[in-house]
């Protein structure tokens, strides 16, 4: 089948195989968004007289049918069809005739894929946000449930000071809040309309870019058409940094969970059905979910650097290099959501050892508590520190093992409500309702 750009020359088969690569598979991620973009575009073309008013309802209905096929899993990119843009146009032309060919007026595949990536990414950001929120809720619930259960705190992997499971769970909850702040910043960069930039230099047609911006529920547009094209790769990298930040939180949490689940620590226990066994050691119950989460999230943390490696030495304008970003970027959202969802399930069902500090090996955790108690009784800090240090060296240290922390964010004052309020304000600030309304309006008959 001929390509949209093909004239009389037939492209060499190996050249075609190499240049197409994984694009048909990757384009399936973009298919519903390509249809939404086309619906907004043809509506705009009709408003400026490039499509007859009578043809607009026909084209919109044809595009709705294609969208329904995609949602039902009945859409595919046929053999010999170059990309999702060509497949959508082909199906319209088959069902509607020559009018189907008019949908490409005033745009290039360059701004089509730019648009598809923006629409796909903002939808996936919403999905990631929901998974983050779910994990956040689990972490906060466990923090409250176990807020009175003490555990060792470590520096240099040496026992340091008392901590608590309230602090441990709550720390990762607050880490996710900062991750969401970064995700929102990336969303703002993503949610701008590049449609109308064509191949990166605009069009001589009197396109109404403000109309397509409103129809698609964007916050605003990329105004400069050259910059709109330069945004390819930059948007993906910005979002990848936000995904990597979430992955970093998950990776650290997974490492802690693996460590705390080991017999040498024994801080937490996982249900047997949430672990895997060994082919040779009948006693093994391995925390494979946390180990795989750690591995997958470590790989996701390299995503911004991988994208940077592709785009960092490219001048302005379009280059085929951008195609390879899709292979790294598009599947990353589902992988991160899977890790978030599995971590939430695991944390919901683990059991906490409520008697860790009964073991005398943790006695010295309370040395700072004892120093501070003496300071409150009027002993200068340096003198109290020396007194307790000498008692430890002589094996004479004793303490009541009481923790008296009351300041904000400490064992006795977790401030989980304040952290939850910050998360709520952030999640409500994305403004997904506007996007949902715009997309629903396009798809409404």
Domains of the chain by residue range: 13-104, 109-358+415-443
Average pLDDT over residues 305-320: 91
Residues 126-184: tens digit of each pLDDT = 999 999 999 999 999 999 999 999 999 999 999 999 999 999 999 999 999 999 999 99
Statement: residue 4 has pLDDT above 60: no
Closest CA to 46 of 35, 54, 38, 37: 54
Distance CA(385)–CA(421), nearest Å, equals: 39
pLDDT at 1: 46
pLDDT at 3: 53
Distance CA(88)–CA(66), nearest Å, equals: 7
pLDDT at 390: 97
Q: Which stretch of 35-49, 180-194, 262-276 has the lowest confidence by average pLDDT?
A: 262-276
Q: Are 161 and 365 a contacting pair, CB within 8 Å? A: yes
pLDDT at 9: 65
- Please tell me whether residue 316 adopts helix, strand or coil conformation: coil
The rounded percent of the chain whose pLDDT value lies above 70 is 96
Selecting from 3.40.50.1110, 3.40.50.1820, 3.30.1330.60, 1.20.200.10, what CATH number does the domain 109-358+415-443 have? 1.20.200.10
Where helices occur in 262-331 by DSSP H, the ranges are 288-300, 303-311, 323-329
- Please tell me whether residue 333 adopts helix, strand or coil conformation: helix
Q: Are 44 and 211 a contacting pair, CB within 8 Å? A: yes
Statement: residue 5 has pLDDT above 50: no
User: Would you tell me how many other CB atoms lie within 10 Å of the CB of residue 424?
Assistant: 12
Residues contacting 304, CB < 8 A, separation 6+: 237, 240, 241, 244
User: Residue 226 corresponds to which tokens in the numbers above?
Assistant: 């050259």
**Cα-Cα end-to-end distance for the chain:** 33
Distance CA(185)–CA(362), nearest Å, equals: 43
Statement: residue 84 has pLDDT above 60: yes
Distance CA(169)–CA(135), nearest Å, equals: 11
Q: Are 35 and 63 a contacting pair, CB within 8 Å? A: yes
Identical fold between 13-104 and 109-358+415-443: no
Distance CA(243)–CA(190), nearest Å, equals: 13
The rounded percent of the chain whose pLDDT value lies above 90 is 84
Q: Which stretch of 212-226, 271-285, 313-327 has the lowest confidence by average pLDDT?
A: 271-285
Q: Are 416 and 140 a contacting pair, CB within 8 Å? A: yes
Distance CA(48)–CA(57), nearest Å, equals: 15
Residues contacting 151, CB < 8 A, separation 6+: 162, 163, 164, 165, 168, 267, 356, 357
Selecting from 3.20.20.370, 3.40.50.300, 1.10.645.10, 1.10.275.10, what CATH number does the domain 13-104 have? 1.10.275.10
Statement: residue 37 has pLDDT above 60: yes
The pTM for the full model equals 0.93
Distance CA(376)–CA(381), nearest Å, equals: 9
Residues contacting 102, CB < 8 A, separation 6+: 42, 45, 50, 51, 55, 59
Distance CA(118)–CA(223), nearest Å, equals: 15
């Amino acid at each position: 089948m001929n390509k949209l750009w093909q004239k009389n020359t037939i492209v060499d088969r190996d050249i075609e195989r190499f240049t197409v690569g994984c694009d048909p598979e990757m384009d399936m991620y973009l298919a519903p968004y390509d249809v939404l973009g086309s619906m907004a575009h043809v509506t705009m073309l009709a408003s400026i007289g490039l499509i007859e008013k009578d043809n607009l309802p026909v084209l919109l209905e044809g595009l709705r049918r294609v969208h329904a096929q995609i949602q039902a899993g009945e859409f595919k990119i046929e053999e010999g069809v170059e990309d999702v843009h060509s497949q959508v146009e082909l199906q319209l032309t088959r069902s509607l005739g020559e009018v189907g060919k008019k949908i490409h007026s005033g745009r290039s595949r360059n701004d089509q894929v730019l648009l598809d990536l923006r629409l796909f990414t903002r939808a996936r950001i919403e999905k990631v946000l929901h998974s983050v929120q779910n994990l956040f809720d689990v972490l906060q619930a466990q923090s409250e449930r176990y807020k009175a259960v003490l555990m060792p705190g470590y520096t240099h992997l040496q026992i340091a000071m008392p901590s608590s499971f309230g602090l441990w769970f709550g720390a990762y909850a607050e880490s996710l809040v900062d991750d969401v702040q970064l995700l929102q910043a990336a969303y703002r960069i993503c949610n701008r309309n590049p449609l109308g930039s064509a191949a990166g230099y605009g069009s001589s047609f009197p396109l109404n870019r403000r109309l397509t911006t409103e129809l698609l529920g964007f916050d605003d547009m990329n105004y400069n058409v050259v910059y709109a094209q330069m945004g390819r790769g930059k948007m993906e990298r910005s979002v990848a940094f936000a995904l990597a930040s979430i992955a970093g939180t998950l990776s650290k949490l997974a490492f802690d969970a693996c460590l705390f689940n080991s017999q040498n620590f024994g801080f937490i226990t996982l249900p047997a059905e949430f672990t895997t066994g060994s082919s040779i050691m009948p006693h093994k119950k391995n925390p494979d979910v946390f180990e795989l989460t750690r591995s997958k999230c470590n790989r996701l943390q390299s995503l911004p650097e991988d994208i940077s490696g592709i785009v960092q030495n490219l001048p302005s304008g379009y280059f085929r290099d951008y195609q390879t970003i899709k292979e790294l970027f598009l599947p990353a959202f589902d992988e991160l959501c899977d890790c978030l969802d599995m971590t939430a399930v695991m944390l919901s069902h683990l059991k906490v050892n409520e008697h860790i500090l009964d073991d005398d090996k943790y006695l010295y955790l309370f040395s700072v508590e004892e120093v501070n108690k003496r300071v409150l009784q009027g002993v200068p800090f340096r003198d109290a520190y020396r007194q307790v240090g000498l008692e430890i060296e002589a094996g004479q240290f004793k303490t009541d093992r009481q923790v008296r922390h009351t300041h904000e964010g400490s064992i006795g004052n977790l401030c989980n409500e304040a952290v939850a309020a910050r998360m709520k304000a952030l999640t409500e600030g994305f403004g997904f309702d506007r996007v949902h309304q715009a997309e629903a309006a396009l798809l409404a008959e």
